[in-house]
Amino acid sequence: MLKVLVCVSGGGTNLQAIIDGIEQGKIRNTKIVRVISNNPGAYALTRAKEHGIEGISISPKEYENRDAFHKAFLNAVEDASPDLIVLAGFLVVIPAEVIRKYRNRIINIHPSLIPSFCGTGYYGLKVHEAALERGVKITGATVHYVDEGTDTGPIILQKAVEVKKGDTPKILQQRVMEEAEWIILPQAINMIACGELQEEGLC
Ligand code: GRF
């Protein structure tokens, strides 16, 4: 059984896609053991609760300095003893110590086709604003391993999405979530759970 810890910051639609994937059998041999949010008001925590999944909030604002937050975050991760950490709309930089301890066992969903529109400052709606600004005809989403950089780890899966005439950032974000994010993130977790990604050494 692959034990998964999911980190969230907002609405939790990617978390919901994982929950649904497990409940519908599209993600096999997997259990979400904990959800961590840096935002106590994140609706993602409500989604976790509705499905009987433990959700906790660890916000940098609650700690006197970044080191204290990092320590609390690391404890909350290790306490859950996950096999895989999934960043699903998580807007906080993962402490280097966590990346070291969980090398090749942390994955992230990014709402563009990396290497386009990624890196520092590219998150949420900003990604889609940049894609529309540049005038790309195709965008999409990427699941990648997390390393010390920002959106720089090895790519696992990508899925392309058409940009349509009249798209606003909000409309494009919704299409990228529906047609790409909510498909490839569960798919990547299932691949890891079923040993199709040997390099991470989980299987
Ligand atoms: C989405 O745009 C996703 O691409 C990015 O974070 C945003 C919110 O995701 N990773 P969610 O609804 O909280 O899963």
Atom number of ligand 1 nearest to Cα 8: 13
Half-sphere exposure of 148 (CA within 13 A, CB side): 4
Domain range list for the chain: 2-193
Beta sheet of 106-110, edge-to-edge order? 55-57, 30-37, 2-8, 84-87, 106-110, 138-145, 155-162
Q: Based on the residue annotation, tell me whether 110 is a catalytic residue of this protein.
A: yes
Does the pTM of the predicted model rise above 0.85? yes
Atom 3 of ligand 1 has which residue's CA nearest to it? 89
Index of the ligand 1 atom closest to the CA of residue 177: 4
Q: What is the pLDDT of residues 102-125, one digit of tens each?
A: 999 999 999 999 999 999 999 999
Pocket test for ligand 1, best of 181, 184, 185 (most atoms within 8 A of CB): 181
The reply to whether CATH 3.30.420.40 applies to domain 2-193 is no
Please give the average per-residue pLDDT across 42-62, as a whole number. 97
Residue 37 Cβ inside 6 Å of ligand 1? The answer reads no
Query: Got the DSSP string for 28-57?
Result: -SEEEEEEEES-TT-HHHHHHHHTT--EEE
